[in-house]
Amino acid sequence: MRALGPSQRPYGRMMLAALQILILAAGIYLLVVGLVFLGQRRLMYHPGGVAGAPADAGLPDAAAVRVSTADGFELQSWYLAPRSGRPVLLYLHGNAGTIADRAFKARLFARQGIGVMLAEYRGYGGNSGSPTETGLYADARANLAWLANQGHGPGDIIVYGESLGTGVAVQAALEQAQAGTPVRALVLEAPFTTMSDAAGVHYPWLPTGLLTRDRYASSAKIGAVQCPVLVVHGSADRVVPQGQGRRLFALAAEPKTAAWLSGAGHGDVYDFGAGEIILDFLDARPSGGGGVPSAR
Protein backbone atom coordinates (compact mmCIF):
# COMPACT_ATOMS: atom_id res chain seq x y z
CA MET A 1 0.00 0.00 0.00
CA ARG A 2 1.34 3.37 -0.96
CA ALA A 3 1.75 5.96 1.79
CA LEU A 4 0.09 9.33 1.36
CA GLY A 5 2.39 11.95 -0.04
CA PRO A 6 2.94 15.27 1.74
CA SER A 7 0.35 17.03 -0.44
CA GLN A 8 -2.26 14.37 0.32
CA ARG A 9 -1.93 14.31 4.11
CA PRO A 10 -3.89 17.57 4.84
CA TYR A 11 -6.72 16.33 2.63
CA GLY A 12 -6.84 13.04 4.52
CA ARG A 13 -6.92 14.83 7.85
CA MET A 14 -9.76 17.07 6.61
CA MET A 15 -11.76 14.05 5.50
CA LEU A 16 -11.24 12.36 8.85
CA ALA A 17 -12.30 15.53 10.72
CA ALA A 18 -15.39 15.86 8.55
CA LEU A 19 -16.31 12.24 9.19
CA GLN A 20 -15.90 12.73 12.93
CA ILE A 21 -18.13 15.82 12.82
CA LEU A 22 -20.79 13.92 10.87
CA ILE A 23 -20.71 11.05 13.37
CA LEU A 24 -20.99 13.50 16.27
CA ALA A 25 -23.89 15.38 14.61
CA ALA A 26 -25.68 12.11 13.87
CA GLY A 27 -25.23 11.02 17.48
CA ILE A 28 -26.62 14.30 18.80
CA TYR A 29 -29.57 14.10 16.37
CA LEU A 30 -30.39 10.54 17.43
CA LEU A 31 -30.15 11.57 21.08
CA VAL A 32 -32.58 14.45 20.49
CA VAL A 33 -34.94 12.14 18.56
CA GLY A 34 -34.85 9.67 21.44
CA LEU A 35 -35.56 12.37 24.02
CA VAL A 36 -38.47 13.73 21.99
CA PHE A 37 -39.89 10.24 21.56
CA LEU A 38 -39.72 9.56 25.29
CA GLY A 39 -41.07 12.96 26.29
CA GLN A 40 -43.57 13.57 23.51
CA ARG A 41 -46.63 13.43 25.74
CA ARG A 42 -45.21 16.23 27.85
CA LEU A 43 -44.94 18.26 24.66
CA MET A 44 -48.44 17.27 23.51
CA TYR A 45 -50.52 17.64 26.69
CA HIS A 46 -50.45 20.72 28.93
CA PRO A 47 -52.98 20.22 31.73
CA GLY A 48 -53.98 23.30 33.67
CA GLY A 49 -54.61 23.44 37.38
CA VAL A 50 -57.78 22.52 39.22
CA ALA A 51 -60.87 23.66 37.32
CA GLY A 52 -62.65 24.82 40.48
CA ALA A 53 -66.40 25.23 40.73
CA PRO A 54 -68.62 26.12 37.75
CA ALA A 55 -69.90 29.23 39.52
CA ASP A 56 -66.34 30.53 39.86
CA ALA A 57 -66.06 30.40 36.07
CA GLY A 58 -69.32 32.25 35.53
CA LEU A 59 -71.59 29.21 35.17
CA PRO A 60 -73.76 29.31 38.32
CA ASP A 61 -76.40 27.08 36.72
CA ALA A 62 -73.94 24.31 35.83
CA ALA A 63 -73.45 21.23 37.97
CA ALA A 64 -70.12 19.53 38.61
CA VAL A 65 -70.81 15.87 37.88
CA ARG A 66 -68.82 12.67 38.38
CA VAL A 67 -68.21 10.56 35.30
CA SER A 68 -66.90 6.99 35.52
CA THR A 69 -64.71 5.60 32.74
CA ALA A 70 -64.54 1.97 31.67
CA ASP A 71 -60.92 1.77 32.82
CA GLY A 72 -61.63 2.89 36.35
CA PHE A 73 -61.17 6.67 36.46
CA GLU A 74 -63.58 9.08 38.14
CA LEU A 75 -63.67 12.35 36.23
CA GLN A 76 -65.34 15.65 37.03
CA SER A 77 -67.15 17.37 34.16
CA TRP A 78 -69.58 20.29 34.14
CA TYR A 79 -73.16 19.93 32.93
CA LEU A 80 -75.70 22.56 31.91
CA ALA A 81 -79.13 21.07 31.20
CA PRO A 82 -80.86 22.09 27.96
CA ARG A 83 -84.25 23.72 27.65
CA SER A 84 -87.00 21.33 26.68
CA GLY A 85 -86.65 20.13 23.11
CA ARG A 86 -83.11 21.51 22.70
CA PRO A 87 -79.94 19.42 22.10
CA VAL A 88 -76.87 18.97 24.27
CA LEU A 89 -73.36 19.90 23.17
CA LEU A 90 -70.50 17.68 24.35
CA TYR A 91 -67.44 19.95 24.43
CA LEU A 92 -64.00 18.32 24.07
CA HIS A 93 -61.33 20.94 24.62
CA GLY A 94 -57.79 21.42 23.40
CA ASN A 95 -54.46 20.34 24.84
CA ALA A 96 -53.98 23.19 27.34
CA GLY A 97 -55.94 24.56 30.28
CA THR A 98 -59.17 23.23 31.74
CA ILE A 99 -62.91 23.30 31.13
CA ALA A 100 -63.05 26.53 33.15
CA ASP A 101 -61.23 28.28 30.32
CA ARG A 102 -64.10 27.34 27.96
CA ALA A 103 -66.91 28.61 30.19
CA PHE A 104 -67.50 31.65 27.96
CA LYS A 105 -68.40 29.32 25.08
CA ALA A 106 -70.78 27.34 27.27
CA ARG A 107 -72.57 30.57 28.22
CA LEU A 108 -73.11 31.39 24.55
CA PHE A 109 -74.79 28.07 23.84
CA ALA A 110 -76.74 28.01 27.11
CA ARG A 111 -78.31 31.38 26.29
CA GLN A 112 -79.87 29.68 23.26
CA GLY A 113 -81.21 26.83 25.39
CA ILE A 114 -78.58 24.34 24.22
CA GLY A 115 -77.31 22.10 26.98
CA VAL A 116 -73.56 21.81 27.45
CA MET A 117 -71.37 19.05 28.85
CA LEU A 118 -67.88 20.46 29.39
CA ALA A 119 -65.97 17.20 29.46
CA GLU A 120 -62.78 17.22 31.48
CA TYR A 121 -60.06 14.72 30.64
CA ARG A 122 -58.00 12.48 32.86
CA GLY A 123 -55.02 14.41 34.17
CA TYR A 124 -56.74 17.74 33.58
CA GLY A 125 -58.63 20.07 35.89
CA GLY A 126 -57.72 18.12 39.02
CA ASN A 127 -58.73 14.71 37.62
CA SER A 128 -56.44 11.76 38.29
CA GLY A 129 -54.53 9.92 35.60
CA SER A 130 -52.38 10.94 32.65
CA PRO A 131 -53.70 11.84 29.19
CA THR A 132 -53.15 9.52 26.24
CA GLU A 133 -55.01 9.01 22.97
CA THR A 134 -56.77 5.87 24.14
CA GLY A 135 -57.46 7.45 27.51
CA LEU A 136 -59.11 10.53 26.03
CA TYR A 137 -61.25 8.34 23.78
CA ALA A 138 -62.39 6.48 26.89
CA ASP A 139 -63.15 9.79 28.61
CA ALA A 140 -65.37 10.89 25.72
CA ARG A 141 -67.23 7.55 25.81
CA ALA A 142 -67.80 7.96 29.53
CA ASN A 143 -69.23 11.45 29.10
CA LEU A 144 -71.53 10.22 26.33
CA ALA A 145 -72.66 7.36 28.57
CA TRP A 146 -73.39 9.82 31.38
CA LEU A 147 -75.49 11.91 29.01
CA ALA A 148 -77.33 8.79 27.87
CA ASN A 149 -78.20 8.06 31.51
CA GLN A 150 -79.75 11.53 31.67
CA GLY A 151 -81.97 10.69 28.71
CA HIS A 152 -79.89 12.36 25.98
CA GLY A 153 -79.59 9.98 23.04
CA PRO A 154 -77.00 10.36 20.25
CA GLY A 155 -79.54 12.12 18.02
CA ASP A 156 -79.76 14.91 20.60
CA ILE A 157 -76.01 15.31 21.06
CA ILE A 158 -73.68 17.67 19.21
CA VAL A 159 -70.04 16.60 19.54
CA TYR A 160 -67.74 19.64 19.54
CA GLY A 161 -63.96 19.33 19.35
CA GLU A 162 -61.44 22.12 19.77
CA SER A 163 -57.87 21.67 18.47
CA LEU A 164 -56.59 18.46 20.15
CA GLY A 165 -60.21 17.74 21.05
CA THR A 166 -61.10 17.49 17.36
CA GLY A 167 -59.23 14.19 17.24
CA VAL A 168 -61.28 12.94 20.21
CA ALA A 169 -64.51 14.31 18.71
CA VAL A 170 -64.01 12.62 15.33
CA GLN A 171 -63.37 9.30 17.08
CA ALA A 172 -66.49 9.70 19.24
CA ALA A 173 -68.65 10.53 16.23
CA LEU A 174 -67.18 7.62 14.28
CA GLU A 175 -67.94 5.15 17.06
CA GLN A 176 -71.53 6.34 17.26
CA ALA A 177 -71.91 5.99 13.49
CA GLN A 178 -70.42 2.49 13.57
CA ALA A 179 -72.95 1.57 16.26
CA GLY A 180 -75.78 2.72 14.00
CA THR A 181 -76.59 5.69 16.24
CA PRO A 182 -74.92 8.76 14.70
CA VAL A 183 -74.78 11.97 16.69
CA ARG A 184 -76.80 15.05 15.76
CA ALA A 185 -73.79 17.01 14.44
CA LEU A 186 -70.01 17.31 14.64
CA VAL A 187 -68.34 20.71 15.09
CA LEU A 188 -64.57 20.97 14.64
CA GLU A 189 -62.70 24.11 15.70
CA ALA A 190 -59.15 24.37 14.30
CA PRO A 191 -58.83 20.68 13.41
CA PHE A 192 -55.74 18.81 12.24
CA THR A 193 -55.53 15.89 9.84
CA THR A 194 -53.35 13.71 12.06
CA MET A 195 -51.25 14.49 15.10
CA SER A 196 -48.08 13.59 13.20
CA ASP A 197 -49.03 16.17 10.56
CA ALA A 198 -49.65 18.77 13.25
CA ALA A 199 -46.35 17.96 14.97
CA GLY A 200 -44.51 18.15 11.66
CA VAL A 201 -45.43 21.83 11.37
CA HIS A 202 -43.43 22.61 14.50
CA TYR A 203 -40.73 19.95 14.19
CA PRO A 204 -40.03 19.65 10.45
CA TRP A 205 -36.60 18.24 11.17
CA LEU A 206 -38.05 15.23 13.00
CA PRO A 207 -39.62 12.10 11.46
CA THR A 208 -42.92 12.78 13.22
CA GLY A 209 -44.72 10.16 11.17
CA LEU A 210 -42.54 7.50 12.78
CA LEU A 211 -42.25 8.99 16.26
CA THR A 212 -45.82 10.00 17.12
CA ARG A 213 -47.47 7.59 19.53
CA ASP A 214 -50.83 9.32 19.98
CA ARG A 215 -51.81 9.67 16.34
CA TYR A 216 -55.41 10.95 16.36
CA ALA A 217 -55.78 9.98 12.70
CA SER A 218 -58.87 12.06 11.94
CA SER A 219 -58.23 12.10 8.20
CA ALA A 220 -58.81 8.34 8.05
CA LYS A 221 -62.08 8.58 10.01
CA ILE A 222 -63.89 11.78 9.09
CA GLY A 223 -65.53 10.35 5.98
CA ALA A 224 -67.52 7.80 7.99
CA VAL A 225 -69.04 9.91 10.78
CA GLN A 226 -72.51 9.96 9.12
CA CYS A 227 -73.64 13.29 10.54
CA PRO A 228 -73.57 16.97 9.51
CA VAL A 229 -70.07 18.42 9.93
CA LEU A 230 -68.97 22.02 10.49
CA VAL A 231 -65.30 23.02 10.31
CA VAL A 232 -64.28 26.44 11.68
CA HIS A 233 -60.67 27.50 11.12
CA GLY A 234 -58.72 30.76 11.07
CA SER A 235 -56.47 31.80 8.21
CA ALA A 236 -53.80 33.09 10.63
CA ASP A 237 -53.61 29.89 12.70
CA ARG A 238 -49.92 29.20 13.35
CA VAL A 239 -50.49 26.21 15.63
CA VAL A 240 -52.58 24.13 13.24
CA PRO A 241 -52.43 25.78 9.80
CA GLN A 242 -55.76 26.21 8.06
CA GLY A 243 -54.56 23.96 5.26
CA GLN A 244 -54.99 20.97 7.56
CA GLY A 245 -58.58 21.97 8.30
CA ARG A 246 -59.24 22.34 4.58
CA ARG A 247 -57.82 18.89 3.85
CA LEU A 248 -59.92 17.34 6.60
CA PHE A 249 -63.01 19.14 5.34
CA ALA A 250 -62.41 17.80 1.84
CA LEU A 251 -62.41 14.26 3.23
CA ALA A 252 -65.69 14.69 5.13
CA ALA A 253 -68.89 13.42 3.55
CA GLU A 254 -71.92 15.61 2.91
CA PRO A 255 -73.67 17.30 4.54
CA LYS A 256 -70.78 19.53 5.54
CA THR A 257 -70.13 23.24 5.98
CA ALA A 258 -66.97 25.26 6.51
CA ALA A 259 -66.20 28.71 7.88
CA TRP A 260 -62.73 29.89 6.88
CA LEU A 261 -62.23 32.92 9.10
CA SER A 262 -59.94 35.55 7.63
CA GLY A 263 -57.43 36.85 10.17
CA ALA A 264 -58.38 34.47 12.98
CA GLY A 265 -55.64 32.61 14.79
CA HIS A 266 -55.73 29.38 16.76
CA GLY A 267 -57.47 30.43 19.94
CA ASP A 268 -59.46 33.51 18.98
CA VAL A 269 -62.02 32.30 16.43
CA TYR A 270 -64.88 33.50 18.64
CA ASP A 271 -63.56 37.03 18.20
CA PHE A 272 -64.18 36.54 14.47
CA GLY A 273 -67.78 35.38 14.71
CA ALA A 274 -67.30 31.64 15.18
CA GLY A 275 -69.91 31.42 17.93
CA GLU A 276 -72.65 32.92 15.77
CA ILE A 277 -71.65 30.74 12.82
CA ILE A 278 -71.86 27.61 14.96
CA LEU A 279 -75.27 28.60 16.34
CA ASP A 280 -76.56 29.23 12.82
CA PHE A 281 -75.25 25.83 11.72
CA LEU A 282 -76.90 24.03 14.63
CA ASP A 283 -80.22 25.76 14.09
CA ALA A 284 -80.11 24.97 10.35
CA ARG A 285 -79.75 21.20 10.97
CA PRO A 286 -78.24 20.88 7.46
CA SER A 287 -79.04 17.98 5.16
CA GLY A 288 -77.57 17.44 1.72
CA GLY A 289 -74.95 20.15 2.09
CA GLY A 290 -77.01 22.96 3.59
CA GLY A 291 -76.24 25.02 6.63
CA VAL A 292 -74.43 28.32 6.91
CA PRO A 293 -72.39 29.50 3.92
CA SER A 294 -68.62 29.29 4.00
CA ALA A 295 -66.92 32.40 5.33
CA ARG A 296 -64.04 33.79 3.33
Out of 77, 139, 163, 196, which one is annotated catalytic? 163
Residue 103: partners with Cβ closer than 8 Å, 6 or more residues away? 54, 57, 58, 59, 118
Residue 275: partners with Cβ closer than 8 Å, 6 or more residues away? 105, 108
Out of 93, 152, 233, 266, which one is annotated catalytic? 266
Q: Judge whether 46 counts as a catalytic residue.
A: no
Q: Judge whether 266 counts as a catalytic residue.
A: yes
Burial 278-288 (b: 16+ CB within 10 A, else e): bbbbbebebee
Residue 81: partners with Cβ closer than 8 Å, 6 or more residues away? 115
Q: Judge whether 233 counts as a catalytic residue.
A: no
238 burial (CB, 10 Å; 0-12 / 13-18 / 19+) is exposed
Catalytic residue ranges: 163, 237, 266
